[in-house]
A and B are shown apart, each in its own frame.
Chain A
Amino acid sequence: MLSYYLKLALINFKRAPSLYALVLLTLSVGVGLVCANYALISVMSGDPIPEKSNQLFHVSMNTWPNENNTHGEPLYILRYRDAMMIEESSIPKHSFVMFETSAYVRDSASASLSRRSGKVRATTHGFFALTNAPFAYGEGFSENTGQVVVIGHNMNQEVFGGGNNVGKTLEIAGELFTVIGILAQWDLRPKYYHATENRAFDQTDDLYIPLETVIDQNWRAQARTSAADSWQHMPQTRERNVYYLQAWVELPTNADKAQFQQYLDNYSQTLKDSGEHPLAIRNELNDVNQWLAKQEVVDDKILAFAIATALFLIVCVFNASSLLLSRFHAGKFEVGLRRAIGASKQQVLMQGMIESTVLGAVISLTAIGLSGLFLALSIEMLPNLRNLAVLNANTLLAGVLLSIVTANLSSFYAIYRANRYTISAELK
């Protein structure tokens, strides 16, 4: 019967092409808007590292050296010696501390002297194992010093034109660095390891360079920095109360987490005992999703827009329902005839649902096309959405399902009414 119902659906579409085109357009706009919004929300609220997001913890500490702490407690940025205390611990499976900076880059072997700006992640070596950074070629660095660099996919494309360029030399801010690793395309949304300062949806970095090297080169942190002491050069920050490093640790079990929490608290107590810590001991470990929630990476305005688009979709469903009701009303003679010659209510219902599902499948194509258009318009108006406005597989699947569901919802009342007609009333 399925093929018969499909044939009947096509015949019905041919009978009233304008009406079905209107239904298609109405629902496509509604579903398209919802899908575009869903695309933004799903990227914003997605788990960027589901395989171990509950094992990775951002470290915040309350080690401000005097009582005049106007930065809120605890701070998500750490000073160098606190960060090194974390690095030295053997409790985490992996850990890293890092900050963001930038530098101009060129291929040292190139005849051209033109350079391009690159975003630099100054980090300790644990970064790659903790984040499961995907390597296309080579590997990460194993020390926190040295003139070595891991480059991102885009940087590899732009500077070298792609391919395996491990072993080649880059000139970065006037210094020569050997490429020891090249990452594959890495779309990390949200970029949880640097979700502060509204950077959760920045692209992944261009260059990954050992932390100590970057500090020695005096490349300044281009993210939040707070200082209780004055300083001029980055190497001075190793000894002074300058807060700019963020730390992440991988703690596979609850026991590890409890042990590491104790380790942090003991450290703070030591500071307190030596008179360096006037504030209450308060160290926090937030896993990836807790940390992203705390950073409010899902924009409230997007959530409000989601409600508005959902309401709009409901209006579209009512409009489509009204159009389809008129269509079924016009065709009630045929329903009566089919019932008279032996179609049960169930079969009439099934025929209507198959027709709606076919309609929904067609709607899904136009709706997804419109979502892409809406997202492109969003990027045009709000360039910050560029890295967010992505129609991923989940969104496409949701679009198809939503189209089919809304098409069935729209026709449900019409099919219900068609089944309520007295058979004999339609036939003479």
Chain B
Amino acid sequence: MLVMNSISRIYRSETIQTHGLRDFSLTVEQGEFVAVTGPSGSGKSTFLNVAGLLDNFDQGDYLLDGISVKGMNDTQLSSLRNEKIGFIFQNYNLIPDYSIADNVDMPLRYRGFSKAERKERVEYALEKVGLAARLDYLPSQLSGGQQQRVAIARALAGSPKILLADEPTGNLDSLMARQVMELLHRLNQDGTTIIMVTHDPDQAREVNRNVQIVDGQITDAKIYAPVEAKEAANA
């Protein structure tokens, strides 16, 4: 699904070069749920931006769903982003004066779907996150957890191959965070590949694979043992 091979991302200013990612290699298979952890400034967001085609890379190769993105122009990258990737942000990033339905509809507009298909997809996506009854609500009329579920519906509406989540529960209280995590697990069980950046070790333990990034490189692929393994060890 996602193959990064020796990726480097270097940020240059007049006097210094900073390596956002350094000789970074990672393969994520279809259906995996990967948690990415690491200290602030380690390169997690750079990885997510490069993986999400929001940022370029300087060296290496990147195949997304078997397609090499190297050398693609903006239109090709935008189209690939629209079709293959769903983004879930920490701040939800909903447009406040659009209805829930219009927010979810946004990525579908750029795909060229018919009005009927867009309507069907919007309703299905909101159904999946349990908000089908709130199509005409404004984001401000929903709780934080509900807003994040709308953001997840927006990410899902285009049937992407992979979801990229950047601290999706970072702004939520524990109860709502739990609900969102359960939703993500359900989606993963339905076959959606998810890569989630998180600072929460417990959330990292919940998923079947985690990687730690430090100084732009993967330092430990098993830093947080899965919950089942931990329980087995304790027993």
- Neighbour of B89 across the interface among A346, A422, A428, CB < 8 A: A428
Interface residues on A, range: 20 to 34
- Do A427 and B97 contact each other (CB < 8 Å), given the known contacts A342-B78, A342-B79? no
Residues of chain A with a CB closer than 8 A to B75's CB: 344-346
A428 to B52, CA, bound (A): 13
The listed residue (B81, B91, B98) touching A341 by CB distance below 8 A is B81
What CA separation (Å) do A3 and B95 show in the bound complex?
A: 19
Contacts of A422 in B (CB 8 A): 55
Q: State the majority secondary structure of interface residues on A.
A: helix
- Would you call B154 an interface residue if the criterion is a C-beta within 8 Å of the partner chain's C-beta atoms? yes
Does B74 contact A345, Cβ atoms closer than 8 Å? yes
Neighbouring B residues of A282 by C-beta, 8 Å: none
CB of A340 within 8 A of CB of B54, answer yes
A339 to B106, CA, bound (A): 11
Would B55 and A340 count as touching, CB distance under 8 A? no
- Interface Cβ pair total, 8 Å cutoff: 66
How far does the alpha carbon of A1 sit from the alpha carbon of B95 in the complex, in Å? 19
Interface size on B, residues (CB 8 A): 29
| CA of A341 to CA of B166, assembled, Å | 15
A334, CB-defined interface residue at 8 Å? yes
Complex contact B110–A342 (CB within 8 A): yes
Q: A344 to B109, Cβ gap below 8 A? A: no
Q: Is the CB of A428 within 8 A of B109?
A: no
Interface centre among A15, A340, A427 (most CB of B within 10 A): A340
Give the shortest distance, in Å, between B36 (CB) and chain A (any CB).
15
Q: A residues within 8 A CB of B158?
A: 342
Q: Cα distance A337–B94 when bound, in Å?
A: 9
Could you give 20 example pairs across A and B, Cβ below 8 Å? A1-B109, A334-B95, A341-B110, A342-B82, A342-B110, A342-B158, A343-B78, A345-B78, A346-B75, A347-B110, A422-B55, A423-B54, A424-B45, A424-B49, A427-B87, A427-B91, A427-B93, A428-B89, A428-B90, A428-B166
A residues near B (Cβ < 8 Å) are 1, 4, 11, 15, 333-334, 337-347, 422-424, 427-428
Binding site for A on B (CB under 8 A): 45, 49, 52, 54-55, 74-75, 78-79, 81-83, 87, 89-91, 93, 95, 97-98, 106-107, 109-112, 154, 158, 166
